[in-house]
Structure 1
């Protein structure tokens, strides 16, 4: 039984090394929520709620997540005995939406549970890899050739490009001229309309690894239509908010790959369900990123160690975004790969001094 003593929620503010620009929004300062779940023996599990300050990626924000955690989700745990972290998904099921808030506490409890078992989180969830292949994202603000050259030297296995509609080919060719045959993809961020279908099929000659989320968030139909008409693989991101969404996407043949983000789907239980569906369908998965701190990145690396995560994920090293991360030993990329921590839980030590410095408000819920 997981006997929680208290949960602390911190609102942490961290300035990015350089602004991160997509067609939907600009991030200069990354506000995130760090959740600490402490048991009665003093062990702490860490999670991260990856909602942004503004609702440009999803309806959730740090403010809505703070409210959900404080007034709804954490109080629900006072009434329940928790034997295993997989039970949280059902406990929270009466709350509609708010996947990122749910994932924040759920990931913290999974970390705590693994520490109680004396096992790494990779072992607890059934991961099979000691290293995972790393890709890197280049935003619209980046000096793209300079950035591509720098990250190519580090051996990144895949480059994901943020693009403006109508300038995809130009952007991709600029990077191809620098990185050669390294796989490239671009993130559509839902900016395309059905009338852009023919235009997108004309990008087949670029030999892309995939196009991610070209159509709107709630769309399965037009992604299915595009998949039938293009040879470039289609990957879904924002459309997949649950295991059921993944099941529909697979059955409707709406995509070739799925980008799995713990925050977007509500935590490990839904992510593991997606993994089971993908394994049956033999569909490749990859782990997306949300400008996480080292805590969220550690969870992503553990997730990417699962068998069906065969494509390089958004698992760049900590220095890609931060001058100082809030973990003692930041993640690094060597030969295009990131090592999966083998110590208990997420396997990283939190820099308490820096975490306290970056915390702008906090509350504690006691059990």
Structure 2
């Protein structure tokens, strides 16, 4: 069964509330995704999504759209039953465009599963029936109230964005903890701290009674020495996110640093890259998180199948569909509060 055509368009999905990280000059009001449609020679259509974030991969929706459109004629005729040659060809076509590549790859995986008469959860191992995600609280004044709302929906784990002003960040984190005193907290600095600030922030948060589970990407993605400094000195695990886009990045990280975990994202690495990064991390005795960009239900559905199929991930951060206002019914995953399961 071969690829007949590949098309793409940009779609804008409103956010339920403004979203702010340390990397945002202005609050984000919507998510922009490149929606991909792969058509096989039997006429069946299989979707994929590319959700680029410029400070992570250097891509924009416009650049990703151009890359998908440029790759389309070259991929025509590829047999999706032979997944490895198809993905090898895709990697060679778009070596510097990981998110555009991931979007096409997602469509190829879905077509591959459909042709085999299987689902992605089964193909990836069928290890777990469901997973439990955290919910993200961005750098906004009403974060404590959003935390209370999340707790009322059953969420127990909260990813708190920080990285503006450390003093204000700590005050907001403590206010969130006061709002949901039974919660578990994961802090994501999106590269905004110095190594020393990162260690100091974690120590002050713990001293204030906040039960931190981990600290994510505290320093610049290019600062391996800084990541190692933080990992050696922080009393909670340090995770790399933006620093690891590929299996080769993961290999370098485990060789050169004491960083305890990696946040893997399909939009950074593709599903095949995610599987390879997970294998490297496990072999090195590191922890794993499966995360996301501001992705739709359709895109999150694929990551949920990966998380449940492999059972490889210690932490799940697949909540972006809960932050978006999407029209129509949810046809891509089972989502009840923090509990996520693949449709199969």
Relative to the length of structure 1, the TM-score reads 0.84
- Which whole-Å deviations, capped at 9, do the CAs of 1:225-256 have from their partners, x for residues lacking one? 11111111101110001011112222223421
**In 1, distance between residues paired with 2:194 and 2:298?**
36
Q: What per-residue deviation string (whole Å, max 9, x for no partner) do you get for residues 124-150 of structure 1?
A: 122411111111001123611211111
Q: Is it true that 1:58 corresponds to 2:73 in the alignment? A: no
Structure 1 residue 268 corresponds to structure 2 residue 268: no
- Residue by residue over 1:71-122, the C-alpha shift from the partner in whole angstroms, topping out at 9 and shown as x without a partner, is 2x22332475554333344223334311000001001010111111121111
Q: Corresponding residue for 1:356?
A: none
Q: Is the 8 A contact 1:50 1:263 kept in 2?
A: yes
The yes-or-no answer on 1:291 pairing with 2:294 is: yes
Q: Give secondary structure in 1 for the equivalent of 2:135.
A: strand
Match of 2:88 in 1: 90
Alpha carbons 2:301, 2:332 under 8 Å: kept: no
Q: Which residue of 2 aligns with 1:256?
A: 260
Within-5 A mapping of 1:1-367: 2-25=1-24, 26-52=27-53, 55-71=54-70, 73-78=71-76, 80-94=78-92, 95-141=94-140, 143-163=142-162, 164-166=164-166, 167-196=168-197, 198-200=199-201, 202-203=203-204, 204-205=206-207, 206-265=210-269, 267-305=270-308, 306-311=310-315, 313-316=316-319, 318-324=321-327, 327-328=330-331, 331-334=334-337, 336-342=338-344
C-alpha distance in structure 1 between counterparts of 2:332 and 2:113, whole Å: 20
CA distance in 1 between counterparts of 2:84 and 2:328 reads 29
- How far is 1:61 from its partner? 0.3
Q: Once structures 1 and 2 are overlaid, which stretch shifts more, 235-244 or 139-148?
A: 139-148
| Counterpart-to-counterpart distance in 2, 1:326 and 1:219 | 43
Residue 297 of structure 1 contacts residue 315 of structure 1 at CA under 8 Å; is this kept in 2?
Answer: yes
Bigger relative contact order, structure 1 or 2 (CA pairs below 8 A, ≥6 apart): 1
Query: In structure 1, what is the Cα distance between the partners aligned to 2:12 and 2:101?
Result: 20
Note if contact 1:23-1:189 (Cα within 8 Å) is conserved in structure 2: yes
Say which SS state the counterpart of residue 209 (structure 1) adopts.
strand
Shift of 1:308: 1.6
Q: 1:329 to 1:64 in 2, by over 3 A?
A: closer
Distance of 1:79 and 1:113 partners within structure 2: 14
Q: Distance in 2 between matches of 1:324 and 1:143?
A: 25
Contact 2:48 2:107 (8 Å CA) reproduced: yes
Secondary structure at the counterpart of residue 212 of structure 2: coil
* Residues 142 and 125 (structure 1), Cα distance of their counterparts in 2 relative to 1, 3 Å cut: farther
CA contact (8 A) 2:170 2:201 kept: no
Q: How many residues align?
A: 335
**Aligned CA-pair RMSD:** 2.2
**Residues 135 and 315, structure 1, Cα contact 8 Å, conserved in 2:** yes
- Tell me, yes or no, if the aligned pair for 1:12 and 1:34 is still in contact at 8 Å: yes
State how far apart, in whole Å, the 2-side matches of 1:150 and 1:197 are: 28
Q: Deviations over 1:14-58 (max 9, x none)?
A: 221222111212321222111111212222221100115xx3443
Helix, strand or coil at the partner of 1:202: helix
1:365 corresponding residue in structure 2: none
- Shifted more, 319-328 versus 299-308: the winner is 319-328
* Contact 2:5 2:72 survives alignment (8 Å): no
Distance in 1 (CA, whole Å) between partners of 2:329 and 2:244 is 29
| Structure 1 residue ranges without an equivalent (≥5) | 343-367
TM-superposition CA deviations, 1:168-204 (whole Å, max 9, x none): 3212211111222321011111011245355245334
Conserved 8 A contact 1:37-1:108 = yes
Q: Which moved more, 1:81-90 or 1:95-104?
A: 81-90
Determine if contact 2:19/2:28 at 8 Å carries over to the other structure.
yes
